[in-house]
């Protein structure tokens, strides 16, 4: 048996097309342009790449992109003051502070300073609580993208056994909440989970978000299961030449693809969906700010 490969790149391009079409309509019918502010503190190279891509795709979707780059030694108070300004700015509908922040800053304090209705990452304590209690929330982008792909593949997820490996605030916990909201029976597994392999083998839906290269192999997977690999790990690839590396997920793709029914590859699976969902969330935030209907097919 060989799994269907879920084409996250094509899926994300479709989401971005939908966003762009609805942005164009907002402009034409209401004279409103959604705006996304991205704040980067410090010069982490990976974060710089993400922020550049976010800015580029925001503009491509027809939205305004505002970038704020602050030096690594910026005082937390200065960052909070910038967030207050962005919160008050009516041209800014979404605010994202790129993580991780420099060690001298209190991440929770910074995130909770963002106005919840502009918190397009869905990390504000109010959005976390809203998601957990079934109220209208801003939903974290990566889990939102995973859920969109799962719904597209299965239609209803009701009654399915879902195992989420990883308990981060960014992916694992909100992913579990979304699956629970869609009536899955959800288990969160982590580094201290006993019999993790056996547990994973019971999953109809297995979401891997642990950040450990190729930890989950085909032996962990129930035949026919859907495997969503959120991991992005860089490992040495001497076969490509000295000092070369390659990207792999948390799932050992080749062995998993022989057992699973469907699987997301790395790269080209979940990754492209994250930015697409960020754009979708920015559009959603803009519509809500203006009392307009939610964008179609882009929220859950």
Phi, psi of 256 (to 5 degrees): -70, -40
Q: Which are the contacts of 23, defined by CB distance < 8 A and separation ≥ 6?
A: 33, 34, 61, 62, 63, 283
Q: Which residue is nearest to ligand GUN (CB)?
A: 99
CB closer to ligand GUN out of 99 and 132: 99
Only one residue has tokens 């790129």, namely 98
The secondary structure of residue 221, as a DSSP letter, is S
CB closer to ligand GUN out of 96 and 260: 96
CB closer to ligand GUN out of 61 and 141: 141
Contact 116, 126 (CB under 8 A): yes
Active site residues: 54, 98, 121
- Distance of closest approach, residue 264 Cβ to ligand GUN, in angstroms: 17
- Distance of closest approach, residue 96 Cβ to ligand GUN, in angstroms: 5
DSSP-H helix ranges across the chain: 8-30, 45-60, 76-88, 107-111, 125-132, 141-154, 172-181, 196-200, 253-257, 271-289
Contact 225, 204 (CB under 8 A): yes
Longest CA span, the chain: 56
CB closer to ligand GUN out of 173 and 252: 173
- The token duo for 99 is 């993580």
CB closer to ligand GUN out of 15 and 260: 15
- Distance of closest approach, residue 100 Cβ to ligand GUN, in angstroms: 7
- Distance of closest approach, residue 50 Cβ to ligand GUN, in angstroms: 7
- Distance of closest approach, residue 211 Cβ to ligand GUN, in angstroms: 11
Q: Which residues bind ligand GUN (CB under 6 A)?
A: 96-99, 121, 141-142, 170
Closest by Cα among 169, 213, 172, 212 to 189: 172
């Amino acid at each position: 048996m060989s799994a269907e490969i879920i084409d996250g790149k094509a899926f994300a391009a479709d989401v971005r097309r939908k966003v762009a079409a609805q942005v164009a309509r907002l402009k034409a019918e209401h004279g409103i342009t959604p705006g996304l502010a991205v704040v980067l503190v410090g010069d982490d190279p990976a974060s710089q790449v993400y922020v550049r891509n976010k800015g580029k795709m925001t503009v491509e979707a027809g939205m305004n992109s505002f970038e704020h780059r602050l030096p690594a030694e910026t005082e937390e108070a200065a960052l909070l003051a910038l967030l207050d300004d962005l919160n008050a700015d009516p041209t800014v509908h979404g605010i994202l502070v790129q993580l991780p922040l420099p060690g001298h800053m209190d991440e929770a304090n910074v995130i909770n300073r963002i106005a919840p209705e502009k918190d397009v990452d869905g990390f504000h304590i109010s959005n976390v609580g809203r998601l957990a209690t079934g109220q209208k929330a801003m939903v974290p982008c990566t889990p939102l993208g995973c859920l969109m792909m799962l719904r597209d593949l299965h239609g209803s997820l009701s009654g399915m056994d879902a195992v989420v490996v990883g308990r981060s605030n960014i992916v694992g916990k909100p992913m579990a909440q979304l699956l629970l909201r869609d009536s899955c029976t959800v288990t969160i597994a982590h580094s201290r989970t006993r019999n993790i392999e056996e547990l994973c083998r019971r999953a109809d839906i297995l979401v891997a978000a642990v950040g450990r290269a190729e930890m989950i192999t085909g032996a962990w997977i129930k035949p026919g299961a859907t495997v969503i690999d959120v991991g992005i790990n860089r490992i040495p690839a001497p076969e490509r030449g000295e000092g070369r590396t390659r990207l792999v997920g948390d799932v050992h793709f080749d062995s998993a693809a022989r057992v699973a029914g469907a699987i997301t590859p790395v790269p080209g699976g979940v990754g492209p969906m994250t930015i697409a969902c960020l754009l979708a969330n920015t559009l959603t935030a803009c519509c809500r700010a203006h009392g307009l209907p939610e964008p179609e097919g882009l929220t859950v």
